[in-house]
Amino acid sequence: MSVTPAPRRVALLTLGCARNEVDSEELAARLDEGGWQVSTDAEGADVVLVNTCGFVEKAKQDSIETLLDAASTGAKVVAAGCMAERYGRELAESLPEAQAVLGFDDYTDIAARLDGVLAGERFDAHTPRDRRELLPLTPVQRRTAKVVVPGHATVDEHTPAHLRPVLRRRLENGPVASLKLASGCDRRCAFCAIPAFRGAFVSRDPQELLAEAEWLAANGVRELVLVSENSTSYGKDLGDPRALEKLLPQLAAVAGIVRVRASYLQPAETRPGLVEAIATTPGVAAYFDLSFQHSSEPVLRRMRRFGSTEKFLDLLAAAREMAPEAGARSNFIVGFPGETRADVDELARFLTDARLDAVGVFDYSDEDGTEAAGMTGKVREDVVKRRYDRIVRLADELCAQRAEERLGSTVEVLVDAIVDGEVEGRSAHQAPEVDGSTTLVAGEAGVDLAALRPGDLVRATVTATEGVDLVAVPVELVSAAAR
């Protein structure tokens, strides 16, 4: 009489950005194929696999705390993701609570790795290396390179891209999902270590993206958020720098998808044709997630970036000329080496004139392996904090004013969740998690709130604001999610 083996249970915990979330769903699919029961709940798991973030110091600390918390459950703990890739052996030596520290090269055999961990095997952590060196310098030569790139798994390279199985398992069932356009980055920003551990820029095949979009739509997704380290570079290694402009309307035409949102745009690479495609294509959110980082030209040059206050304002004006209600967000670093009081004043001037919907502000800190870490002209810590506090206060005030400008306007809101009768969603200028949200409330006429479900797209009138968040009355159901 045969005995059915006990199920092997793994909890997959994801930290960091939306790109990591896509990578986790690839890992989940591989683990599922390998016979593992996958969840996001560490309770009762045999192994807890933590997909770490290694971007900045706070993210790294969050990753360490999550790994330690996982160890306290009694499960075996495995570190993967960016921090594991970036630090490898060093992380393994400083974190004996983890049974294994796995790099990106382990992803293709992740089920076997966890089988070994569960059996008590110990794995030598890798010695980190610059992953940019694994791919050809010339972008168009990278497509044939045999390098593991998370989120780019090909099940059967001999089958046309649109017919291949999708190696992805959703870990959440909401109406929004990220779709990874590309991985890596060819830029050399002085403050950023990401290219060294994520590698050179590699685009995914357009047909593969369309097939994955159709699969996501069939699994209840209504909004696609296009993610990468640099979405404006999409297609340069495919021989077509206009590839994203062509892809956007194709994705928007996928049955069941009501909104496509591009993110991670580099201002210096945002061409007029791309601006027009985002601003005017039906089904594409008129939303510009532009990585400005600063607006003072001298600071940008030291950052190894391009632009200025006037050039950035011109870019925003071009977008708003075609889509007056277009949303715009960005992140900024204050206290970069060499930054002066005049540079901060220039940044404040830009923020005042830019009318951004959402702003993220970071205080500069040295990052291992970056050019900026070795720069002269470091700004004192107390000065950085004062500048940070000033810009955060200004940004909060300006973003709240921008929200107030939308009073009385009509917005299309995708319902994300309904909790205790409160209907929460987002309009086209609000990306998931990083921007504000819109609360739908009952009005004298229009849509019955009680009939709404996550994934519904409704047209609504903005009646109030709460900081960057909106309150709106739905007046028309534009597209209903599958019941």
Residues in the annotated binding site: 17, 53, 82, 185, 189, 192
Can you give 58-86 as a three-state secondary structure string? HHHHHHHHHHHHHHCCCCEEEEEHHHHHH
Tell me how crowded residue 84 is: count the other CB atoms within 10 A of its CB. Answer: 30
Helix axes 381-404, 341-354, angle to 10 degrees: 10
H helix or E strand, kind and range, residue 24:
helix 18-33
401 token code pair: 């004013």
In sequence order, what DSSP letters do the residues of 197-228 get, joined into one string? HH-S-EEPPHHHHHHHHHHHHHTT--EEEEE-
> CB of 326 within 8 A of CB of 356?
no
> Which residue in this structure is represented by tokens 């392996």?
369
DSSP assigned state of 378: P
> Which residue in this structure is represented by tokens 């996958």?
38
Is residue 387 classed as helix, strand or coil in its secondary structure?
A: helix
How far, in Å, are 14, 101, 174, 197, 289 from residue 127 at the CA level? 23, 11, 38, 12, 35
Pseudo-torsion of CA 338, 339, 340, 345, nearest 10°? 160
**How far is residue 442's CA from residue 445's CA, in Å, rounded to a whole number?**
8
**How far is residue 347's CA from residue 356's CA, in Å, rounded to a whole number?**
13
Q: How many CA atoms lie within 13 A of 277 on its CB side?
A: 20
> CB of 477 within 8 A of CB of 447?
yes
101 token code pair: 């520290």
Is residue 240 classed as helix, strand or coil in its secondary structure?
A: coil
The binding site for [4Fe-4S] cluster consists of: 17, 53, 82, 185, 189, 192
Angle made by CA atoms 329, 196, 134, in degrees to the nearest 5: 125
> CB of 317 within 8 A of CB of 367?
no
> Which residue in this structure is represented by tokens 């992803």?
107
In sequence order, what DSSP letters do the residues of 145-182 get, joined into one string? -----TT---S-TTS-GGGSPP----S--SSEEEEE-E
